């Protein structure tokens, strides 16, 4: 084989990023691979629309059948997004015995196991570094660099949109709505931000990472997911007083033969690595039996960072193809993937920060403390914020390690008290015994 022929399906943010890297780094890529990589076709919805990138005009097409029938195409790169159309393109590419690269997390989350099984049966690679954390090479690290080790836990800040919003709320005291609007103006959030702010995007990512790390089937619909929409500026101010930053944390951990997988806002000690992750950046920490802790951090989205991950995948599957070693890594399907029980959220034990908005009256604190004691929740510290004028008071309780189910039950009781004036805010604390 004298060169690797590539078809880009999609020429949006990531497609253009991949194109620019393939063009600008062509010589380096050829030196590293031994043969040049040439883009043969670029599939788009509207081939008549002018594109800014020089040299692409003659490659634009809307005919996927012709692209897949071209024997000079060895690698098909799915960058159209969505699930149905993308799944049909990827399946058709596998049937045509092309190596496939995708950056489509939603696709892998919905159809991954079936597509990986199809690819394994056809003896082709399906690579997906760009699908999780954009340019941060977490997939390759888990699949290859840590193949000899035993991963105990993977956790991180894996959604740049929510991290940007939380930063804005924390630094500027903006409300959630103001911070979201700012993120949308600056291009950090979609017009419909539901997938991000609900925590579901992070859940899809941590489930993919858990599948790789533990060889276990983990479906996002079966894990505990809380988004950021109920956070208020006061939660950031209180966190700072206690020595915490507030982050949307995604976690997957082995516990007693089961997996604890969850996504929710969490207080992390300000000195912890995850507290330092700013704006659209992502960070993933991996705890391994032999290596110990490992931290990967970088730009979690964007055309160029994700494009770089996509091009590295093109090179990887090309290397396998050139050395007749496609299928070198286990596919994310049986027999690599197995069923492992998931621990319910109620079984989690850790510190909780509870913020009660209550009537400013004698005996309220004692009543709250009484309910917590009844549920065997021990208190590490209490902060009281007196009422402003006629308004309610706030009581903030930081617990010692307590079971999540017990805390939920106590909160349910306290919520019914006549002196409770607003929804009780519960924020879990991640990261050991940090500040109190």
Ligand X SMILES: NC(=O)c1ccc[n+]([C@@H]2O[C@H](COP(=O)([O-])OP(=O)(O)OC[C@H]3O[C@@H](n4cnc5c(N)ncnc54)[C@H](OP(=O)(O)O)[C@@H]3O)[C@@H](O)[C@H]2O)c1
Residue in 108, 292, 359, 76 with CA at minimum distance from that of residue 212: 108
What are the distances in angstroms from CA 16 to CA 11, 239, 304?
A: 5, 41, 8
Least distance to ligand X from the beta carbon of 93, Å? 13
Least distance to ligand X from the beta carbon of 16, Å? 8
Nearer to ligand X, 43 or 397 (CB): 43
Least distance to ligand X from the beta carbon of 103, Å? 4
403: Cα within 13 Å, side-chain hemisphere: 11
Taking the C-alpha atoms of residue 395 and residue 77, their distance in angstroms, rounded to an integer, is 54
Nearer to ligand X, 90 or 342 (CB): 90
Least distance to ligand X from the beta carbon of 282, Å? 10
Residue in 351, 349, 301, 346 with CA at minimum distance from that of residue 136: 301
Two structure tokens written together for 67: 């692209």
Least distance to ligand X from the beta carbon of 86, Å? 7
What are the distances in angstroms from CA 209 to CA 131, 139, 250, 357, 405?
A: 10, 7, 10, 38, 26
Nearer to ligand X, 130 or 265 (CB): 130
Taking the C-alpha atoms of residue 5 and residue 21, their distance in angstroms, rounded to an integer, is 15
Taking the C-alpha atoms of residue 303 and residue 10, their distance in angstroms, rounded to an integer, is 12
Least distance to ligand X from the beta carbon of 224, Å? 23
Residue 124 φ then ψ, to 5°: -120, 160
* Residue whose tokens read 């912890």: 272
Site for ligand X, rule CB under 6 A: 10-15, 43-46, 49, 79-81, 85, 103-105, 130, 134, 301-302, 306
Least distance to ligand X from the beta carbon of 199, Å? 17
What are the distances in angstroms from CA 264 to CA 212, 241, 340?
A: 21, 21, 22
State which residue has the least CB distance to ligand X: 12
Nearer to ligand X, 167 or 287 (CB): 167
Residue 205 a catalytic site member: yes
Burial 279-293 (b: 16+ CB within 10 A, else e): bbbbbbbbbbeeeee
Two structure tokens written together for 369: 């403390």
Two structure tokens written together for 291: 């290596």
Nearer to ligand X, 14 or 372 (CB): 14
Nearer to ligand X, 161 or 399 (CB): 161
Least distance to ligand X from the beta carbon of 107, Å? 7
Considering 98, 105, 205, 247, which one is annotated as catalytic?
A: 205
Two structure tokens written together for 259: 């997996």
Nearer to ligand X, 105 or 253 (CB): 105
Least distance to ligand X from the beta carbon of 145, Å? 21
Nearer to ligand X, 65 or 293 (CB): 65
Nearer to ligand X, 98 or 253 (CB): 98
Full DSSP string of 113-166: HHHHHHHHHHT--EE-GGGSSTTS-HHHIIIIITTTS-EEEEEEE--HHHHHHH
Burial of 379 (0-12, 13-18, 19+ CB in 10 A): middle
Contact 100, 75 (CB under 8 A): yes
Taking the C-alpha atoms of residue 64 and residue 44, their distance in angstroms, rounded to an integer, is 9
Contact 161, 188 (CB under 8 A): yes
Contact 275, 247 (CB under 8 A): yes
Catalytic residues: 205
């Amino acid at each position: 084989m004298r060169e690797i022929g590539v078809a880009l399906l999609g020429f949006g943010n990531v497609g253009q990023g991949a194109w620019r890297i393939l063009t600008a780094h062509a010589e380096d890529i050829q030196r590293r691979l031994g043969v040049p990589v040439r883009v043969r076709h670029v599939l788009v919805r509207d081939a008549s629309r002018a594109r800014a990138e020089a040299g692409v005009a003659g490659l634009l097409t809307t005919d996927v059948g012709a692209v897949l029938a071209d024997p000079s195409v060895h690698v098909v790169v799915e960058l159209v997004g969505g699930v149905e159309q993308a799944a049909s393109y990827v399946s058709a590419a596998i049937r045509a015995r092309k190596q496939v690269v995708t950056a489509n997390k939603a696709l892998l989350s919905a159809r991954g196991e079936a597509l990986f099984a199809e690819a394994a049966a056809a003896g082709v690679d399906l690579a997906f570094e760009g699908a999780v954390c954009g340019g941060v090479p977490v997939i390759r690290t888990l699949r290859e660099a840590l193949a000899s080790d035993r991963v105990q836990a993977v956790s991180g800040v894996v959604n740049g949109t929510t991290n940007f919003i939380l930063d804005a709320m924390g630094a500027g005291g903006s409300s959630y709505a103001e911070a979201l609007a700012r993120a949308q103006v600056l291009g950090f959030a979609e017009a419909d931000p539901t997938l991000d702010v609900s925590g579901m995007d992070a859940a899809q990512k941590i489930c993919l990472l858990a599948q790789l790390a533990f060889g276990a089937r983990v479906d996002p619909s079966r894990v505990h997911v809380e988004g950021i929409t109920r956070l208020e500026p006061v939660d950031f101010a209180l966190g700072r007083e206690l020595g915490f930053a507030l982050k949307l944390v995604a976690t997957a951990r082995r516990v007693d033969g089961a997996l604890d997988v969850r996504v929710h806002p969490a207080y992390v000690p300000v000195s912890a690595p995850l507290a330092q992750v700013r704006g659209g950046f992502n960070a993933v920490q991996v705890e391994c039996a032999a290596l110990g802790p490992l931290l990967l951090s970088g730009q979690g989205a964007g055309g160029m960072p994700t494009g770089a991950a996509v091009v590295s995948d093109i090179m990887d599957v090309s290397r396998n193809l050139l050395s007749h070693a496609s299928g070198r890594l286990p596919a994310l399907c049986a027999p690599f993937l197995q069923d492992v029980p998931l621990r319910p959220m109620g079984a989690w034990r850790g510190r909780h920060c509870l913020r009660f908005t209550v009537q400013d009256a004698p005996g309220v604190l004692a009543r709250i403390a009484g309910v917590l004691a009844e549920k065997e929740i021990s208190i590490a510290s209490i902060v009281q914020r007196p009422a402003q004028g006629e308004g309610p008071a706030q009581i903030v309780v930081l617990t010692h390690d307590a079971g999540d189910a017990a805390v939920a039950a106590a909160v349910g009781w306290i919520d019914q008290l006549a002196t409770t004036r607003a929804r009780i805010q519960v924020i879990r604390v991640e990261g050991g015994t940090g500040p109190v």
